[in-house]
Structure 1
Amino acid sequence: MPGIKIFTGSSHPELTGLILDRLGIPPSPAVVKRFPNAETSVELGVSVRDADVFLIQSGSHSMNDHLMELLIMISSCRSASARRITAVLPYFPYNKQSKKKKARGAISAKLVANMLSVAGVDHIITLELHSSLTQGFFNKPCDNLLAQPSLAKYISDHFRSDKCIMVSKNAGGTRRVAQLADILKIDFALIHRERYHIREGNNVTEEYETKLSLVGDVNEKICLVLDDVIDGTHSFIDSCEHLKKCSAEKVYIVAVHGILSGNALKVIENCEAINGIIVTNSYPIPPEKKRMSTKLVQLDISGLLAEAIRRTHNGESMSFLFHHPL
Structure 2
Amino acid sequence: MTLTRPRRRGAALAAALLSTALLLTACSGNDAPEGTIDNSPAAGNDAFPVTVTTTYGETTLYEKPERIVALGMSNLDILTSLGVTPVAFADDGYTVNGGSPDFSNAPWVDGKVSADLWDVGLADGEVNAEAIAAYDPDLLIVGTRDAEDGNMYETLSEIAPVYVSPSASEWQKDTTEIGQLTGKSTEAEEQIAAVEKAYEDAQSSLPGLQGRTYNIGALDAGEIWIEGPWTFLSDLGLVPADNQPAEDIQNMSMENVDQLQADVMVLVAYDDATTDTFKSDPRVASLPSSENGTLIYLPANFLGAAHRAGPLNRLWVKDQMVSYLEKTPLNQEGN
Shorter-chain TM band: 0.3 to 0.5
Structure with higher strand content = 1
Q: TM-score if structure 2 supplies the norm length?
A: 0.37
Structure with higher helix content = 2
